Amino acid sequence: MSSKQQTRRNARRAARARQRLVLRIFGILVVALAMAVIAFILHTTQKGSTPALVGTKQYASAPPMLIDVSKQYFATVQMEKGGEFVIQLYPDKAPITVNSFVFLVDQGFFEGVTFHRVLAGFMAQGGDPTGTGSGGPGYQFVNESNDLKFDKAGVVAMANAGRDTNGSQFFITFGPAGLSEKDYTIFGKVTSGMDVVNSIALRDPTQNPGYSGDRIRSVTISTK
């Protein structure tokens, strides 16, 4: 075999070796990409996805279950006029309700929202983005029964237009409220800053007041 033939043979061998290497690398990349896609799908399936935003503070559906019911959740509410109060949430007592509340907080839903209905000796109601008492997040969810009672100040519960019509509106009692626990889902209590809650401006929407009421600056969630 001449030296030229040997050179050509060596060149062909080298080319085949390069092709095999390229194929191996391509195969590894394909496998890695497939594993990444599978991991993403599994993560999405397990955690759920954020409901589609279909309008200003309006969502196409209730959120998937995103909270860990074994953890303790706290919501710190800062008011625009100053002051803050802390709500301990009860994910073990009302998981659907707490999950929705935490989701809305994460979306910034309550920022700038007013306490539109505040009645002396009764409660402060907020969470309506329209400030009219008829607004919500675009979805509704069911009542959750538990052993919590309207027996003291600082009880936090969902406002509704009848059973299983919960959305974003909630209320905080100023004292024992005499309400039926069958009609409302209690999902938290004020653990600090009740003086701030008591200072929320009174507002009866049926009297057509010329002011919108005290607004929430921000709500933040912490866990333990």
CATH number of the domain enclosing 154: 2.40.100.10
Residues 21 and 118 in one domain: no
198 occurs within a structural domain:
yes
Determine contact, residues 170/125, Cβ cutoff 8 Å: yes
Is the domain of 67 the same as that of 165?
A: yes
Please indicate, yes or no, whether residues 133 and 214 belong to a single structural domain of this protein.
yes
Residues 91 and 178 in one domain: yes
Containing domain of residue 32, as a range? 1-47
Which pair of structure tokens corresponds to residue 160? 């509704």
Residue 76 forms part of a structural domain: yes
Chunk the chain into consecutive blocks of 10 residues (it has 224) and report each block's average pLDDT, rounded to whole numbers.
67 75 73 57 52 94 96 98 98 98 98 97 97 96 98 98 97 96 98 98 91 96 96
Residue 187 lies in a domain: yes
State residue 82's pLDDT score. Answer: 97
43 and 64, same domain (yes or no): no
Do 99 and 200 fall into the same domain? yes
pTM above 0.85, yes or no: no
So what's the pLDDT on residue 42? 41
Residue 165 belongs to some domain of the structure: yes
User: Is residue 99 domain-resident?
Assistant: yes
Q: Which amino acid is at 62?
A: A
Return the pLDDT at 28: 76
Does residue 176 belong to any structural domain of this protein? yes
Q: Are residues 5 and 41 in the same domain?
A: yes
Residues 6 and 35 in one domain: yes
Tell me: do 64 and 20 sit in the same domain: no
In a domain, 52, yes or no: no
Beta strands in 40-185 (DSSP E): 53-55, 58-59, 73-79, 84-89, 117-119, 123-126, 155-158, 170-173
Residue 31 has a pLDDT of: 65
User: Residue 162's CB: how many other CB atoms inside 10 A?
Assistant: 8
Strand ranges (E), the chain: 53-55, 58-59, 73-79, 84-89, 117-119, 123-126, 155-158, 170-173, 186-192, 216-223
Could you tell me the two tokens for 82?
């100053």
Q: Does residue 188 share a domain with residue 151?
A: yes
Q: Report the number of distinct structural domains present in the chain.
A: 2
- Same domain (yes/no): 38, 127: no
Both 216 and 127 in one domain: the answer is yes
The C-alpha atoms of residue 45 and residue 64 are separated, in whole angstroms, by 10
